[in-house]
Amino acid sequence: MTTQTMNEINGDLEALWPSAVTLRAAGVAVVLGLPQDALPFVIHWGGDIGAQDADSLRELALHAQPPLATNGVDVPVIVGVVPENAAGWTGTPGLQGHRSGQAWSTRFVPVSVDISDDAPSGGSVSVRAVDVDAQLSLGLLLELLPSGLLRLSATLRNDGVDSYTIDALDLALPVPTRADVVFDMAGRWAKERVAQSRPFTVGTHLREGRHGRTGADAATFLAAGTADLDFGQGEVWGLHVAFSGNHRVLAERAFSGERLILGGELLLPGEIQLAPGETYETPALFAGYGAGLDAVAARFHAHLRSRPSHPRSARPVVMNVWEAVYFDHELPRLLELADAAERVGVERFVLDDGWFGSRRDDTSGLGDWVIAEDVWGGGRFRALVEGVKRRGMQFGLWFEPEMVNVTSDLATAHPEWLLQVPGRLPVDFRHQQVLDLSHPGAFAHVFDQIVSLVREHGIDYIKWDHNRDLIEAGSTRTGRAGVHEQTLATYRLLDAIRRACPGLEIESCSSGGARVDLGILEHTDRVWASDCIDARERQQIQRWTAQLLPPELVGSHVGADRAHTTRRRVDLDFRAATALFGHFGIEWDLTTVSPDDLQRLTAWVAYYKGVRGLIHSGTTVRRELEGGDLWLHGSVSPHRDRALYAVILRERHVTWPLGRVRLPGLDPDREYRVRVGGPGPLPAYDPRIHPSWYRSGINLSGAVLQEIGVHVPALDPDTSVLLDVEVVR
């Protein structure tokens, strides 16, 4: 074994690493080392370090390597954005693949680098690298967006004369050793996005999504953080895979000290086989750094709101009739519901499942997107649409375009259009099979049926559902696994329908919240966060959906007094206050509601219309108080001149009364007036329940409200109070 002196090592480094670049935006800096004979690596991803001159960057790059690990390889191991075993890295490699068993380990060398340094609004680095021996080309793109999010993607091209199989292509980001905690989410149907954390121990924390859709149990946002991580404190480095099919994320700590977070598409065996000249492009990874979880959430929200496709109009009050009528469709009954919807102020009326083909329950008709003659024939469907629009509401309609019942006319006529392995259909899932949208005939059939209905009836809105996992999802055309192609075909279909029907809005629903990701939101206008609209459960679901999405993209409805999914009863005011912090709607048989509750619901609808501009443009803040028994969330306007907070009692606390509640996000140098929010009238003042300021409000500075806070009314479990805060000077 030969031993190099540090001078020799530094000499090699000077030859190999002559440059580095800093990207800066919104208080974030990314310093990228650019070796001449290896892939780029991240020297720093975190807080802004200010402008650095070329000499400082060169010095930083030259000495970015760690000391040699004891009993390790004889050169410093630098882990690139696509980690390679050839560099001495023995953790998870970025690219896993082979050419019939050959070319299984790569060593990419850059051949071009394109840098756009556009501080303070971000910048990008694009690198093209080749491995001549493996006959592969790799393109890397790293973009620091104006929001401070880092977006990464890679493209692999087969330059050889025979096929190359990709098993995985993951992108990696290092995090510092002070990141001692791993944070992500779990869940199940009707209880999506449950936060969880664990120590960042040596080894790999792996989260795989193999549902063929994002999944109710998806990690959603995988992060590493400091031990004091919370909504408003600590440091956090996290990522999200913007893809609606199979995916995976990893947090990995090596024996040699490196800590990485990685992510990418999860590829099934043989799913991506590149013919000569073909390319594979990874889904985008979005990575966020911030001081506290709220800071990273704000970056995601700012990015989504900056998109040209982001909804700009006021988010209309929705009524969905599913929990009111289920499959029991009758014109008089639905027009009666439309009357009630109009009276309370609904702006969009949505007819759910059961209007088409032989669909009278969930065992039949799925895939036959034609008006059911026995229920809606004779002009009755047109009468419903026109009746809804005469009442001043938009009309929405439910579809599940990616699925079929085996008993449907479509499946009977085209069994070759169903995803399957040779010789057998996958197990039924809600009596459904999956329609292969990558098949040109199936794609055209669904497109034609949906577009013709939208155009003929002037449909304004589609609730696009997706109610089963993709199990054994193989293509009858290729015999290979088909989740990747199905996901991309779904994106293409959504885009084609939107181009053909300008102004149409589409909601992504998937057994509730099983397809909530930034991939599907490039092609839709909102998501349905969960089939559970029990307000207590929804507090948790919406709280953590907000880590990724701003409230205007998250459907949130007022349900019946007894929740259909949990059988729990909670008061109307709590249900409405919960739905307020989203895209507000109603899913309740209003023909059975008492006059008093109808009047109260009408007041809440009017209140939502008055504050939706604030909620749908403001900065989301969250806090956990009194050991988690008390929750706070709210929205602070961009100019910090207005805020609306909800304080919720989750459990009875061990001591009483509760302490003061501090209100985050305000300008410490301005004076604010705090009042009880929500539709009036306020209950009569009772000194045993209400703080002294309850009747007339209180004026305090932002500094006092953030550091000392205010007492709030006494609350029972599963009740809340709104605090409306407005600047006075």
User: How many other C-beta atoms can be found within 10 angstroms of the C-beta atom of residue 616?
Assistant: 19
Distance between CA atoms of 396 and 169, rounded to whole angstroms? 40
Distance between CA atoms of 144 and 26, rounded to whole angstroms? 10
Six-digit token pair at 582?
Answer: 């989203």
Q: Which of 368, 465, 469, 534 is catalytic?
A: 465
Six-digit token pair at 74?
Answer: 């004889």
Radius of gyration of the chain (CA): 27
Element (H, E) at 643: strand 642-649
Element (H, E) at 507: strand 505-508
Six-digit token pair at 165?
Answer: 């199989």
Residue written as token pair 């402008």: 51
Sign of the CA dihedral with 166 first, then 521, 350, and 340 last: positive
Q: Which of 353, 460, 517, 531 is catalytic?
A: 531
Is 465 one of the catalytic residues? Answer: yes
Distance between CA atoms of 391 and 280, rounded to whole angstroms? 50
CA angle, 605 as apex, 600 and 606 as ends, to 5°?
A: 95
Burial of 7 (0-12, 13-18, 19+ CB in 10 A): exposed
- The identity of residue 584, as a single letter, is F
Inter-residue contact 526 to 520 (CB < 8 Å): no
Is 230 one of the catalytic residues? Answer: no
Sign of the CA dihedral with 57 first, then 62, 63, and 69 last: positive
Six-digit token pair at 570?
Answer: 């909670």
| Residues 6 or more apart in contact with residue 472 via CB below 8 angstroms | 419, 420, 421, 424, 426, 427
Helices 380-390 and 331-344 sit at what angle, rounded to 10 degrees? Answer: 10
Residue written as token pair 């953080």: 225
Q: Which residues are catalytic?
A: 465, 531
